[in-house]
Structure 1
Amino acid sequence: MTKDLYARHRSVLPDWLALYYEEPLEITHGEGRHVWDSAGNKYLDFFGGILTTMTAHALPEVTKAVSEQAGRIIHSSTLYLNRPMVELAERIARLSSIPDARVFFTTSGTEANDTALLLATAHRRSNTILAMRNSYHGRSFSSVGITGNRGWSPTSLSPLQTLYVHGGVRTRGPYAHLDDRDFIDACVADLVDLLGHTRPPAALIAEPVQGVGGFTSPPDGLYAAFREVLHERGILWIADEVQTGWGRTGEHFWGWQAHGRSGPPDIVTFAKGIGNGMSVGGVIARAEIMNCLDANSISTFGGTQVTMAAGLANLNHLLEHDLQGNARRVGGLLIERLRAVAAQVPHVREVRGRGLMIGIELTRPGTDEAAPEAASTVLEEARAGGLLVGKGGGHRTSVLRIAPPMSLTVAEAEEGAAILERALRSI
């Protein structure tokens, strides 16, 4: 049955629509941190639909909220008052730390980043954008144009002029040998030099932890140091929190807070986890930035009643059950367990991350050369053992990405680590 579905998939969908596994998987249902396939096999889910199932599969509060709202009205567009939209916007504005915040809802992280770019370029009257090397910001024409990861950027055409900045990857590149303080100083000096050779940019957009890039991040404080340089010149800071928001990193509610001594970003984008599988994205910005557009705009599907009801229920559950604290505690145990395993596997170059956002980078033993075939082997072996993980990385997709629902238990973390240990030893 799965082979037939795969054949139908290939005959009607684009060739570039990637599927995991030599024999692709059809997931039919889930509960908690587990999912089942069409053959009845059960898996521990350590990827959550690409960091989207944030709290749990089939979370009762979310399914109930969706069902009850769907029974009343699903959609009316932004041309009418929408109580769930207003209520969720109020909650997010308060949580953002951005003064006089305004919130605009979209259907995805790509669309959220598109909107942030529109706001920044209109507000600053510049189409130049600073972006990080190894970054990923979506699949639209403008967001592809600022993506610093060759594997996810299919065209060099863009409505924007993009300049790429050092710093998103701590352990590779020309400054990798420096200690954290010197690394930050070198990146800041490079940024200052770059700004001296170009017309004033509109904004810097950066993921606090690079998701598709393999869960890489700079030393804490880099973006605060960047912010000081940018602020002096009136350049905006956009924090892409599509993968890092809502407490997933454990130590902070937003990823930018690891770099927060200079205050919150001018614009924050979010998506993925807030909807727990429903299509919710959005932008938070100061009122003067959000309101700078001088033409009409609406969103047909951004902020529908049913997706807002899901987001509210999901956010309430996350806060009431302190899932940020759980991500810190259980994630800390998991990363230490994986580092102990990795010390015995020559292919593992690095285990990195924070909270429940962990990357395992694989290389050919004794070198820094990426080993994508090893990553594929581990992906297959983990599935055979009953565990689903992701892949990524700017160096030929050789990083295993681990990001389970934030309600992961200690027992489930240990179970997943044991499966990963067997899979890594199979390389």
Structure 2
Amino acid sequence: MNDDLLSRHRSVLPDWLALYYDEPLEITHGEGRHVWDSRGNRYLDFFGGILTTMTAHALPEVTKAVTEQAGRILHSSTLYLNRPMVDLAERIATLSGIPDARVFFTTSGTEANDTALLLATTYRRSNTVLAMRNSYHGRSFSSVGITGNRGWSPTSLSPLQTLYVHGGVRTRGPFAGLDDYDFVAACVDDLKDLLGHTRPPAALIAEPIQGVGGFTSPPDGLYAAFREVLHERGVLWIADEVQTGWGRTGEHFWGWQAHGRSGPPDMLTFAKGIGNGMSIGGVVARAEIMNCLDANSISTFGGTQITMAAGLANLNYLLEHDLQGNARRVGGLLIERLRAAAAQVPAVREVRGRGLMIGIELSTPGTDEADPAAASAVLEAARRGGLLIGKGGGHDTSALRVAPPLSLNVAEAEEGAAILEDALRSIQ
């Protein structure tokens, strides 16, 4: 049956629509932190549909909210007042930390970043955008144009002039050998130098932890230092929180808070986990920025009632059960367990991350040369052991991405770490 579905997939869907595994699997249902495939195999899910099933599979509170809302009305568009949308917007505006915040809902992180770029370029009357090397911001024409990861950038054509800044990757590049203080200083000097050679840009967009890039991040405080330089010149800061938001990093509710000494960003974008599988994205911005458009606009599917009901129920569960604290506690145990296991595997170059957002980078032993074949082999071995993880990285997809639902418990963390340890050892 799976072979037939794969054949049908290949005959009707694009060749560039990537599938994991030599024998792709069909996930049919899930519960908690586990999923099952069409052959009845059970897996511990440490990727959550690309960090999207953030809380748990088949979470009763979310399922109930969706079912009840479906019995009333699914959708009406933004042309009509929408109570669930206003309710969720109020909660997110308060949680964002952005003063006088306004919220616009979209259907994805790509669309959220598109909207943020539209707002920034309109507000600043500039189509120049600063982005980070190794970054990823979505699949649309404009978001591909600011993506600094060759593997996810199919065209160089863009409506924007994009300039790429150092700093998103701590352990590679020209400043990798510096200590944290000097690394930040060198990146700030590079930013100042870049700004001296170009017309004033609209904004810097940055992921606090780079997701598709392999869960890389700069030292805490880099974006605060950038913000001070940018603020002097009126340049906006957009924090792309599509993967880092909602407490996943454990230490903070938003990734930008690790860089928060200069205050919140001018805009933040969100998506993925807030819907726990439902299609929700959005932008939070100061009112003067959000309201700068001088033409009408709507969103047909952004903020639709059923997705907002899911988002509200999911956010309530997340806050009431302190899943940020759980990410900090269980994620801390998991990353230490993985570091101990990786210390015995020469192919592991680095284990990095925070909370339940952990990257394991593989390289040819004794070198810094990326080893995507090893990453693929570990991905396959983990699946055979009953564990689903992801891949990423800016150097030929050589990093494993570990991002379980935030309700992960200690026993499941230990089980997943043991499977992953065996998978890592299998490539030696």
**Range of TM-score over shorter length:** over 0.9
* Mapped pair 1:236 → 2:236: yes
| Residue matched to 2:272 | 272
Cα-to-partner distance string for 1:260-290 (whole Å, 9 max, x where unaligned): 0000000000000000000000000000000
| Residue matched to 1:364 | 364
Aligned partners of 1:25, 1:41: CA distance in 2, in Å? Answer: 10
| AA of the residue aligned to 1:380 | E
Q: How far apart are 1:403 and its partner, in Å? A: 0.2
Q: How far apart are 1:117 and its partner, in Å? A: 0.1
State the secondary structure of the residue aligned to 1:219: coil
Aligned partners of 2:398, 2:193: CA distance in 1, in Å? Answer: 32
State the secondary structure of the residue aligned to 1:72: coil
| Residue matched to 2:425 | 425
Cα-to-partner distance string for 1:128-170 (whole Å, 9 max, x where unaligned): 0000000000000000000000000000000000000000000
| Residue matched to 1:347 | 347
Aligned-residue sequence identity (percent) comes to 89
* Mapped pair 1:86 → 2:86: yes
| Residue matched to 1:168 | 168
- In structure 1, list runs of 5 or more residues that go unmatched: none
| AA of the residue aligned to 1:179 | D
Aligned partners of 1:186, 1:422: CA distance in 2, in Å? Answer: 40
Aligned partners of 2:235, 2:377: CA distance in 1, in Å? Answer: 44
Structure 1 stretches (4+) deviating beyond 3 angstroms? none
| Residue matched to 1:51 | 51
Q: How far apart are 1:344 and its partner, in Å? A: 0.2
* Mapped pair 1:25 → 2:25: yes
| Residue matched to 1:204 | 204
Aligned partners of 2:276, 2:196: CA distance in 1, in Å? Answer: 43
- In structure 2, list runs of 5 or more residues that go unmatched: none
Aligned partners of 1:316, 1:153: CA distance in 2, in Å? Answer: 36
Aligned partners of 1:192, 1:205: CA distance in 2, in Å? Answer: 16
Aligned partners of 1:165, 1:118: CA distance in 2, in Å? Answer: 21
CA RMSD in angstroms comes to: 0.2
State the secondary structure of the residue aligned to 1:327: helix
| Residue matched to 1:11 | 11
| Residue matched to 2:126 | 126
Count of aligned pairs between the two proteins = 427
Aligned partners of 2:190, 2:262: CA distance in 1, in Å? Answer: 20
Aligned partners of 1:337, 1:110: CA distance in 2, in Å? Answer: 34
Cα-to-partner distance string for 1:349-376 (whole Å, 9 max, x where unaligned): 0000000000000000000001111001
Aligned partners of 2:162, 2:138: CA distance in 1, in Å? Answer: 15
| Residue matched to 1:401 | 401
Aligned partners of 1:46, 1:330: CA distance in 2, in Å? Answer: 13
Aligned partners of 1:37, 1:237: CA distance in 2, in Å? Answer: 42
Aligned partners of 2:98, 2:140: CA distance in 1, in Å? Answer: 27
Aligned partners of 2:90, 2:6: CA distance in 1, in Å? Answer: 43
Q: How does 1:259-298 map to 2 (within 5 A)?
A: 259-298=259-298
State the secondary structure of the residue aligned to 2:71: helix
| AA of the residue aligned to 2:229 | V
Aligned partners of 2:261, 2:172: CA distance in 1, in Å? Answer: 26
Aligned partners of 2:414, 2:32: CA distance in 1, in Å? Answer: 16
Aligned partners of 2:334, 2:267: CA distance in 1, in Å? Answer: 32
State the secondary structure of the residue aligned to 2:43: strand
Q: How far apart are 1:215 and its partner, in Å? A: 0.1
Cα-to-partner distance string for 1:219-257 (whole Å, 9 max, x where unaligned): 000000000000000000000000000000000000000
Aligned partners of 2:148, 2:97: CA distance in 1, in Å? Answer: 28
TM-score by length of 1: 1.00
| Residue matched to 2:255 | 255
| AA of the residue aligned to 1:157 | L
Aligned partners of 1:110, 1:43: CA distance in 2, in Å? Answer: 29
State the secondary structure of the residue aligned to 1:368: coil
* Mapped pair 1:329 → 2:329: yes
| Residue matched to 2:338 | 338
Aligned partners of 1:373, 1:113: CA distance in 2, in Å? Answer: 32
Q: How far apart are 1:174 and its partner, in Å? A: 0.2
Q: How does 1:95-174 map to 2 (within 5 A)?
A: 95-174=95-174
| Residue matched to 2:194 | 194
Aligned partners of 2:365, 2:94: CA distance in 1, in Å? Answer: 48
Aligned partners of 2:51, 2:177: CA distance in 1, in Å? Answer: 31
| AA of the residue aligned to 2:234 | G
State the secondary structure of the residue aligned to 2:411: helix
| AA of the residue aligned to 1:413 | A
Q: How far apart are 1:206 and its partner, in Å? A: 0.0
Cα-to-partner distance string for 1:372-423 (whole Å, 9 max, x where unaligned): 1100110000000000000000000010000000000000000000000100
Aligned partners of 2:52, 2:5: CA distance in 1, in Å? Answer: 24
